[in-house]
Amino acid sequence: MAVAVRDTNQGTGEPSLTDLIERSAELKGELVAFAQSARFDRWLTPALLEAAGPERQLDEGEAIRIIDHFILRYRLPDGSTVVDRFVAGRRDLTAVDREMLLGWRDPVEGIFEIQRKDGDAVILLNLVDDLEYRTYSNVGRAAFRGVSKRGFLHARLVPVRSADGVWLVSGALSYYPKSSAAQIAQVALQLATHQPELVFRNPEKIEQGWQRMREDRAAFIEFCGGDELVLPPAEAEDRLNAYYLHRQEAAVAGQPDRARGRRLPGLDLPFFELPRELADSDTIGVIYDEVDGLNFYPDYGMLRDLFTDPALAGRRRHQNLLRKYLHEESIAPLPIRRLVAAHPETGDAVFRKLLRKPGFTWSEHGEALLRRRKPWYYANEPRPGVSVIGDRLSALVTGRR
Protein backbone atom coordinates (compact mmCIF):
# COMPACT_ATOMS: atom_id res chain seq x y z
CA MET A 1 0.00 0.00 0.00
CA ALA A 2 1.36 3.43 -0.87
CA VAL A 3 1.98 5.75 2.06
CA ALA A 4 1.45 9.49 1.69
CA VAL A 5 3.72 11.48 4.06
CA ARG A 6 5.70 14.68 3.95
CA ASP A 7 9.02 14.11 2.18
CA THR A 8 11.87 15.95 3.86
CA ASN A 9 14.82 14.88 1.71
CA GLN A 10 13.80 15.93 -1.78
CA GLY A 11 16.81 17.02 -3.79
CA THR A 12 19.35 15.66 -1.28
CA GLY A 13 19.90 12.30 -2.94
CA GLU A 14 18.77 10.50 0.22
CA PRO A 15 15.64 8.34 0.30
CA SER A 16 12.50 10.25 1.17
CA LEU A 17 10.44 9.37 4.19
CA THR A 18 7.83 7.92 1.84
CA ASP A 19 10.46 5.67 0.27
CA LEU A 20 11.78 4.57 3.64
CA ILE A 21 8.37 3.65 5.01
CA GLU A 22 7.45 1.74 1.86
CA ARG A 23 10.80 -0.05 1.98
CA SER A 24 10.24 -0.88 5.65
CA ALA A 25 7.09 -2.77 4.70
CA GLU A 26 9.02 -4.89 2.20
CA LEU A 27 11.84 -5.60 4.64
CA LYS A 28 9.50 -6.43 7.51
CA GLY A 29 7.62 -8.96 5.39
CA GLU A 30 10.87 -10.65 4.38
CA LEU A 31 12.12 -10.56 7.97
CA VAL A 32 8.95 -12.20 9.34
CA ALA A 33 9.17 -14.96 6.72
CA PHE A 34 12.82 -15.48 7.64
CA ALA A 35 11.98 -15.74 11.37
CA GLN A 36 9.21 -18.28 10.71
CA SER A 37 11.47 -20.53 8.67
CA ALA A 38 12.51 -23.96 9.97
CA ARG A 39 15.92 -22.71 11.14
CA PHE A 40 14.33 -20.84 14.09
CA ASP A 41 11.52 -23.27 14.90
CA ARG A 42 13.28 -24.71 17.97
CA TRP A 43 13.13 -21.30 19.69
CA LEU A 44 9.99 -19.65 18.31
CA THR A 45 7.56 -22.56 18.67
CA PRO A 46 8.14 -23.02 22.45
CA ALA A 47 7.52 -19.29 23.00
CA LEU A 48 4.20 -19.50 21.16
CA LEU A 49 3.17 -22.68 22.97
CA GLU A 50 3.98 -21.19 26.36
CA ALA A 51 1.85 -18.13 25.59
CA ALA A 52 -1.00 -20.33 24.35
CA GLY A 53 -1.18 -22.14 27.70
CA PRO A 54 -2.76 -25.55 28.38
CA GLU A 55 -5.78 -24.66 26.22
CA ARG A 56 -3.47 -24.06 23.22
CA GLN A 57 -5.36 -20.88 22.38
CA LEU A 58 -3.63 -17.71 21.23
CA ASP A 59 -5.32 -14.76 19.58
CA GLU A 60 -3.80 -13.27 16.47
CA GLY A 61 -2.67 -10.03 18.10
CA GLU A 62 -0.78 -11.80 20.87
CA ALA A 63 0.84 -14.18 18.39
CA ILE A 64 2.01 -11.21 16.31
CA ARG A 65 3.48 -9.55 19.42
CA ILE A 66 5.39 -12.71 20.38
CA ILE A 67 6.80 -13.17 16.88
CA ASP A 68 7.75 -9.50 16.70
CA HIS A 69 9.51 -9.66 20.07
CA PHE A 70 11.29 -12.84 18.98
CA ILE A 71 12.53 -11.14 15.81
CA LEU A 72 13.75 -7.95 17.45
CA ARG A 73 14.79 -8.85 21.01
CA TYR A 74 15.26 -12.58 21.50
CA ARG A 75 18.89 -13.57 21.98
CA LEU A 76 19.88 -16.74 20.18
CA PRO A 77 22.55 -19.01 21.74
CA ASP A 78 25.40 -17.07 20.12
CA GLY A 79 24.04 -13.75 21.42
CA SER A 80 22.74 -12.57 18.06
CA THR A 81 19.16 -11.66 17.14
CA VAL A 82 17.07 -12.79 14.20
CA VAL A 83 17.64 -9.32 12.71
CA ASP A 84 21.41 -9.76 12.99
CA ARG A 85 21.27 -13.05 11.10
CA PHE A 86 18.94 -11.65 8.46
CA VAL A 87 21.25 -8.71 7.77
CA ALA A 88 24.36 -10.91 7.78
CA GLY A 89 22.85 -13.26 5.20
CA ARG A 90 21.61 -10.59 2.78
CA ARG A 91 24.41 -9.14 0.67
CA ASP A 92 21.87 -7.35 -1.54
CA LEU A 93 20.86 -4.92 1.22
CA THR A 94 21.85 -1.30 0.80
CA ALA A 95 23.56 0.68 3.55
CA VAL A 96 20.24 2.42 4.22
CA ASP A 97 18.46 -0.94 4.52
CA ARG A 98 21.06 -2.18 6.98
CA GLU A 99 20.88 0.94 9.11
CA MET A 100 17.10 0.69 9.29
CA LEU A 101 17.03 -3.01 10.13
CA LEU A 102 19.74 -2.83 12.77
CA GLY A 103 17.96 0.11 14.37
CA TRP A 104 14.96 -2.12 14.94
CA ARG A 105 16.91 -4.14 17.52
CA ASP A 106 16.21 -1.36 20.05
CA PRO A 107 12.42 -0.89 19.95
CA VAL A 108 10.41 1.30 22.29
CA GLU A 109 7.87 -0.64 24.33
CA GLY A 110 5.13 1.26 26.05
CA ILE A 111 1.63 2.44 26.72
CA PHE A 112 1.01 5.54 24.62
CA GLU A 113 -1.59 8.29 24.91
CA ILE A 114 -2.69 9.71 21.57
CA GLN A 115 -1.98 13.42 21.56
CA ARG A 116 -3.21 14.18 18.03
CA LYS A 117 -3.20 13.05 14.42
CA ASP A 118 -0.96 14.83 11.92
CA GLY A 119 -1.53 13.66 8.37
CA ASP A 120 -0.61 10.00 8.22
CA ALA A 121 1.18 10.19 11.55
CA VAL A 122 -0.03 10.11 15.11
CA ILE A 123 1.78 11.95 17.89
CA LEU A 124 2.05 9.63 20.87
CA LEU A 125 3.07 10.33 24.46
CA ASN A 126 4.70 7.29 26.04
CA LEU A 127 3.31 7.14 29.57
CA VAL A 128 6.31 5.07 30.64
CA ASP A 129 9.25 7.24 29.51
CA ASP A 130 7.29 10.54 29.20
CA LEU A 131 8.56 11.20 25.64
CA GLU A 132 6.62 12.03 22.48
CA TYR A 133 6.93 9.88 19.35
CA ARG A 134 5.89 10.89 15.84
CA THR A 135 4.63 7.55 14.59
CA TYR A 136 3.68 6.08 11.21
CA SER A 137 2.54 2.66 10.05
CA ASN A 138 3.91 0.98 6.96
CA VAL A 139 0.32 0.13 5.96
CA GLY A 140 -0.65 3.80 5.93
CA ARG A 141 -3.20 5.80 7.86
CA ALA A 142 -5.61 2.85 7.86
CA ALA A 143 -3.68 1.49 10.85
CA PHE A 144 -4.92 4.42 12.96
CA ARG A 145 -8.53 4.41 11.76
CA GLY A 146 -10.87 4.42 14.74
CA VAL A 147 -8.34 5.75 17.25
CA SER A 148 -9.03 9.15 18.76
CA LYS A 149 -7.32 11.85 20.77
CA ARG A 150 -6.73 10.96 24.45
CA GLY A 151 -7.23 7.29 23.70
CA PHE A 152 -4.39 4.83 24.36
CA LEU A 153 -2.28 2.43 22.34
CA HIS A 154 -0.29 -0.54 23.61
CA ALA A 155 2.45 -0.74 21.00
CA ARG A 156 6.03 -1.42 20.06
CA LEU A 157 7.79 1.24 17.97
CA VAL A 158 10.95 1.05 15.88
CA PRO A 159 12.91 3.91 14.30
CA VAL A 160 12.67 4.70 10.59
CA ARG A 161 16.11 6.26 10.77
CA SER A 162 18.07 6.33 14.00
CA ALA A 163 18.59 10.12 14.01
CA ASP A 164 15.28 11.43 12.61
CA GLY A 165 12.89 11.01 15.52
CA VAL A 166 10.38 9.28 13.22
CA TRP A 167 8.96 5.95 14.33
CA LEU A 168 7.04 3.01 12.93
CA VAL A 169 4.57 0.68 14.58
CA SER A 170 6.05 -2.82 14.82
CA GLY A 171 3.75 -5.76 15.36
CA ALA A 172 0.21 -5.53 16.66
CA LEU A 173 -1.56 -2.44 18.01
CA SER A 174 -4.09 -2.56 20.83
CA TYR A 175 -6.35 0.49 21.20
CA TYR A 176 -8.20 1.55 24.34
CA PRO A 177 -10.62 4.50 24.60
CA LYS A 178 -10.00 7.37 27.00
CA SER A 179 -12.65 5.90 29.31
CA SER A 180 -10.09 3.17 30.11
CA ALA A 181 -7.63 5.70 31.54
CA ALA A 182 -7.61 4.34 35.11
CA GLN A 183 -6.91 0.75 34.07
CA ILE A 184 -4.38 1.77 31.43
CA ALA A 185 -2.54 3.94 33.96
CA GLN A 186 -2.11 0.96 36.26
CA VAL A 187 -0.65 -1.13 33.43
CA ALA A 188 1.79 1.68 32.54
CA LEU A 189 2.70 2.07 36.21
CA GLN A 190 3.53 -1.63 36.48
CA LEU A 191 5.73 -1.40 33.39
CA ALA A 192 7.55 1.61 34.81
CA THR A 193 8.18 0.01 38.20
CA HIS A 194 9.00 -3.53 37.04
CA GLN A 195 11.03 -2.55 33.97
CA PRO A 196 12.79 0.72 34.89
CA GLU A 197 15.01 0.41 31.80
CA LEU A 198 11.93 1.46 29.80
CA VAL A 199 11.69 4.67 31.85
CA PHE A 200 15.37 5.48 31.44
CA ARG A 201 15.16 5.85 27.68
CA ASN A 202 14.48 9.42 28.73
CA PRO A 203 17.81 10.97 29.87
CA GLU A 204 16.02 13.40 32.18
CA LYS A 205 14.50 10.49 34.06
CA ILE A 206 17.95 9.04 34.71
CA GLU A 207 19.11 12.09 36.65
CA GLN A 208 15.74 12.37 38.40
CA GLY A 209 16.03 8.69 39.30
CA TRP A 210 19.48 9.15 40.86
CA GLN A 211 18.19 12.09 42.88
CA ARG A 212 15.14 10.15 44.09
CA MET A 213 17.32 7.18 44.98
CA ARG A 214 19.70 9.37 46.97
CA GLU A 215 16.75 10.77 48.91
CA ASP A 216 15.25 7.33 49.49
CA ARG A 217 18.59 5.87 50.58
CA ALA A 218 19.10 8.69 53.07
CA ALA A 219 15.63 8.02 54.49
CA PHE A 220 16.40 4.28 54.69
CA ILE A 221 19.62 4.92 56.59
CA GLU A 222 17.87 7.26 59.00
CA PHE A 223 15.04 4.79 59.63
CA CYS A 224 17.14 1.59 59.81
CA GLY A 225 20.31 2.99 61.36
CA GLY A 226 22.56 2.09 58.42
CA ASP A 227 22.61 1.04 54.77
CA GLU A 228 23.13 -2.67 55.54
CA LEU A 229 20.98 -5.08 57.54
CA VAL A 230 21.42 -8.80 58.26
CA LEU A 231 18.18 -10.33 59.55
CA PRO A 232 16.12 -13.52 59.46
CA PRO A 233 13.68 -13.38 56.51
CA ALA A 234 10.56 -12.66 58.59
CA GLU A 235 12.27 -9.81 60.43
CA ALA A 236 13.61 -8.42 57.15
CA GLU A 237 10.08 -8.35 55.71
CA ASP A 238 8.73 -6.64 58.84
CA ARG A 239 11.50 -4.02 58.80
CA LEU A 240 11.02 -3.28 55.09
CA ASN A 241 7.25 -3.01 55.44
CA ALA A 242 7.66 -0.67 58.41
CA TYR A 243 10.03 1.45 56.33
CA TYR A 244 7.69 1.61 53.32
CA LEU A 245 4.77 2.51 55.58
CA HIS A 246 6.88 5.26 57.14
CA ARG A 247 7.75 6.60 53.68
CA GLN A 248 4.13 6.61 52.51
CA GLU A 249 2.93 8.33 55.66
CA ALA A 250 5.64 10.97 55.22
CA ALA A 251 4.57 11.49 51.59
CA VAL A 252 0.92 11.86 52.63
CA ALA A 253 1.85 14.34 55.34
CA GLY A 254 3.74 16.38 52.73
CA GLN A 255 0.68 16.62 50.44
CA PRO A 256 -2.35 16.87 52.72
CA ASP A 257 -4.60 18.50 50.10
CA ARG A 258 -4.14 15.63 47.63
CA ALA A 259 -4.77 12.97 50.28
CA ARG A 260 -7.72 14.62 52.02
CA GLY A 261 -10.91 12.60 51.77
CA ARG A 262 -9.23 9.64 50.10
CA ARG A 263 -8.53 6.20 51.46
CA LEU A 264 -4.89 5.61 50.70
CA PRO A 265 -4.32 2.19 49.16
CA GLY A 266 -1.74 -0.01 50.77
CA LEU A 267 -1.52 1.56 54.22
CA ASP A 268 -3.03 -1.56 55.81
CA LEU A 269 -1.47 -4.07 53.40
CA PRO A 270 2.06 -5.48 53.11
CA PHE A 271 4.25 -3.64 50.63
CA PHE A 272 6.99 -6.20 50.41
CA GLU A 273 7.19 -9.96 50.43
CA LEU A 274 10.38 -11.93 49.88
CA PRO A 275 10.44 -14.39 46.99
CA ARG A 276 10.56 -18.03 48.02
CA GLU A 277 14.25 -18.49 47.21
CA LEU A 278 15.08 -15.76 49.74
CA ALA A 279 12.42 -16.61 52.30
CA ASP A 280 13.98 -20.06 52.80
CA SER A 281 17.38 -18.58 53.77
CA ASP A 282 18.65 -18.49 57.34
CA THR A 283 19.41 -14.78 57.01
CA ILE A 284 18.87 -12.05 54.45
CA GLY A 285 21.33 -9.30 53.66
CA VAL A 286 19.60 -6.01 52.87
CA ILE A 287 21.99 -3.49 51.33
CA TYR A 288 21.01 -0.05 50.04
CA ASP A 289 24.01 1.00 47.98
CA GLU A 290 24.47 4.46 46.53
CA VAL A 291 25.00 2.99 43.02
CA ASP A 292 23.44 -0.49 42.99
CA GLY A 293 20.38 0.57 44.97
CA LEU A 294 18.37 -1.65 47.31
CA ASN A 295 19.16 -5.36 47.00
CA PHE A 296 18.60 -8.56 48.96
CA TYR A 297 21.10 -11.40 49.38
CA PRO A 298 20.46 -14.98 50.59
CA ASP A 299 22.33 -16.38 53.60
CA TYR A 300 24.35 -13.19 53.84
CA GLY A 301 24.99 -13.76 57.53
CA MET A 302 26.79 -17.03 56.75
CA LEU A 303 28.87 -15.30 54.08
CA ARG A 304 29.78 -12.56 56.53
CA ASP A 305 30.84 -15.19 59.06
CA LEU A 306 33.19 -16.67 56.44
CA PHE A 307 35.02 -13.36 56.03
CA THR A 308 35.08 -12.85 59.79
CA ASP A 309 36.62 -16.28 60.33
CA PRO A 310 38.57 -17.51 57.26
CA ALA A 311 38.99 -20.93 58.88
CA LEU A 312 35.40 -21.53 57.71
CA ALA A 313 36.69 -21.50 54.11
CA GLY A 314 37.54 -25.17 54.63
CA ARG A 315 33.87 -26.05 55.07
CA ARG A 316 32.03 -27.15 51.96
CA ARG A 317 28.84 -25.27 52.87
CA HIS A 318 30.65 -21.94 53.11
CA GLN A 319 32.69 -22.62 49.98
CA ASN A 320 29.55 -23.40 47.99
CA LEU A 321 27.88 -20.21 49.20
CA LEU A 322 30.82 -18.04 48.10
CA ARG A 323 30.92 -19.85 44.75
CA LYS A 324 27.21 -19.10 44.35
CA TYR A 325 27.85 -15.41 44.99
CA LEU A 326 30.63 -15.46 42.39
CA HIS A 327 28.70 -17.35 39.70
CA GLU A 328 25.07 -16.33 40.15
CA GLU A 329 23.96 -13.76 37.55
CA SER A 330 21.32 -12.33 39.86
CA ILE A 331 24.01 -11.30 42.36
CA ALA A 332 26.09 -8.22 41.56
CA PRO A 333 29.68 -7.75 42.79
CA LEU A 334 28.44 -5.47 45.59
CA PRO A 335 28.16 -7.94 48.53
CA ILE A 336 31.61 -9.45 47.89
CA ARG A 337 33.18 -6.01 47.57
CA ARG A 338 31.49 -4.96 50.81
CA LEU A 339 32.72 -7.93 52.78
CA VAL A 340 36.29 -7.64 51.49
CA ALA A 341 36.32 -3.93 52.36
CA ALA A 342 34.95 -4.67 55.84
CA HIS A 343 37.46 -7.48 56.46
CA PRO A 344 40.65 -6.58 54.56
CA GLU A 345 42.83 -8.65 56.87
CA THR A 346 40.98 -11.92 56.09
CA GLY A 347 39.69 -11.47 52.53
CA ASP A 348 42.87 -12.69 50.86
CA ALA A 349 42.92 -15.87 52.97
CA VAL A 350 39.31 -16.68 52.06
CA PHE A 351 39.92 -16.45 48.31
CA ARG A 352 43.28 -18.25 48.46
CA LYS A 353 41.54 -21.19 50.07
CA LEU A 354 38.56 -21.14 47.72
CA LEU A 355 40.53 -20.67 44.51
CA ARG A 356 43.58 -22.73 45.63
CA LYS A 357 45.85 -19.88 44.61
CA PRO A 358 48.39 -19.09 47.37
CA GLY A 359 49.48 -15.88 45.65
CA PHE A 360 46.02 -14.37 45.33
CA THR A 361 45.53 -10.88 46.77
CA TRP A 362 42.29 -8.96 46.47
CA SER A 363 44.02 -5.65 45.77
CA GLU A 364 45.84 -7.14 42.78
CA HIS A 365 43.45 -9.79 41.46
CA GLY A 366 40.01 -9.10 42.97
CA GLU A 367 38.54 -6.77 40.34
CA ALA A 368 39.74 -8.99 37.49
CA LEU A 369 38.07 -11.97 39.18
CA LEU A 370 34.74 -10.13 39.38
CA ARG A 371 34.97 -8.98 35.75
CA ARG A 372 35.56 -12.57 34.60
CA ARG A 373 32.71 -13.99 36.64
CA LYS A 374 30.21 -11.15 36.15
CA PRO A 375 30.83 -9.56 32.74
CA TRP A 376 27.13 -8.67 32.43
CA TYR A 377 27.46 -6.24 35.33
CA TYR A 378 30.20 -4.25 33.59
CA ALA A 379 28.59 -4.31 30.14
CA ASN A 380 26.21 -1.39 30.75
CA GLU A 381 26.20 1.95 32.48
CA PRO A 382 24.67 1.80 35.97
CA ARG A 383 21.09 3.00 36.24
CA PRO A 384 19.09 4.21 39.25
CA GLY A 385 17.16 1.59 41.17
CA VAL A 386 14.19 3.96 41.50
CA SER A 387 11.76 4.57 38.64
CA VAL A 388 10.52 8.12 38.05
CA ILE A 389 6.91 8.53 36.99
CA GLY A 390 6.10 11.31 34.53
CA ASP A 391 3.55 14.02 35.27
CA ARG A 392 0.95 12.68 32.85
CA LEU A 393 1.08 9.13 34.20
CA SER A 394 0.98 10.46 37.75
CA ALA A 395 -2.13 12.47 36.90
CA LEU A 396 -3.85 9.45 35.36
CA VAL A 397 -2.96 7.19 38.30
CA THR A 398 -4.42 9.66 40.80
CA GLY A 399 -7.47 10.37 38.66
CA ARG A 400 -6.56 13.96 37.83
CA ARG A 401 -7.19 15.34 34.35
132: CATH = 2.40.50.140
- Is residue 330 within 8 Å of 294, Cβ to Cβ? no
Q: What's the predicted TM-score (pTM) here?
A: 0.76
Q: Which pLDDT value is given to residue 12? A: 54
> Could you tell me which of 398, 387, 395 has the C-alpha nearest to residue 128?
387
CA R_g for the chain: 25
Q: Which pLDDT value is given to residue 347? A: 94
User: Are 243 and 367 members of one domain?
Assistant: yes
User: Are 170 and 297 members of one domain?
Assistant: no
222-229 LR contacts (CB < 8 Å, sep 24+): 227/287, 227/288, 227/289, 228/285, 228/286, 228/287, 228/288, 228/338, 229/284, 229/285, 229/286, 229/287
Whether 220 is in a domain gets the answer: yes
User: Are 45 and 151 members of one domain?
Assistant: no
Q: Which pLDDT value is given to residue 3? A: 43
Q: Which pLDDT value is given to residue 163? A: 58
Query: Rounded CA gap, 215 and 225, in Å?
Result: 15
User: Are 289 and 227 members of one domain?
Assistant: yes
User: Are 231 and 245 members of one domain?
Assistant: yes
Whether 8 is in a domain gets the answer: no
User: Are 75 and 133 members of one domain?
Assistant: no
User: Are 124 and 64 members of one domain?
Assistant: no
User: Are 85 and 189 members of one domain?
Assistant: no
User: Are 265 and 183 members of one domain?
Assistant: no
Q: Which pLDDT value is given to residue 89? A: 95
| Structural domains counted in the chain | 3
Q: Which pLDDT value is given to residue 386? A: 85
**Strand 166-169 and strand 132-136: pairing?**
parallel
User: Are 250 and 123 members of one domain?
Assistant: no
Whether 399 is in a domain gets the answer: no
User: Are 231 and 362 members of one domain?
Assistant: yes
User: Are 195 and 224 members of one domain?
Assistant: no
Q: Which pLDDT value is given to residue 380? A: 85
User: What residue numbers bound the domain in which 280 lies?
Assistant: 210-378
Domain boundary among 52, 73, 103: 103
Local confidence pLDDT in tens for the 401 residues of the chain = 434 444 545 555 678 889 999 999 999 999 999 999 999 999 999 999 998 888 888 888 899 999 999 999 999 999 999 999 999 999 999 999 999 999 999 999 899 999 999 999 999 999 999 999 999 998 888 889 889 999 999 999 999 976 578 999 999 899 999 999 999 999 999 999 888 889 999 999 999 999 999 999 999 999 999 999 999 999 999 999 999 999 888 877 766 555 454 444 444 455 778 888 888 899 999 999 999 999 999 999 999 999 999 899 889 999 999 999 999 988 999 999 999 999 999 999 999 999 999 999 999 999 999 999 999 999 889 999 888 889 999 999 887 65
Query: Rounded CA gap, 89 and 2, in Å?
Result: 28
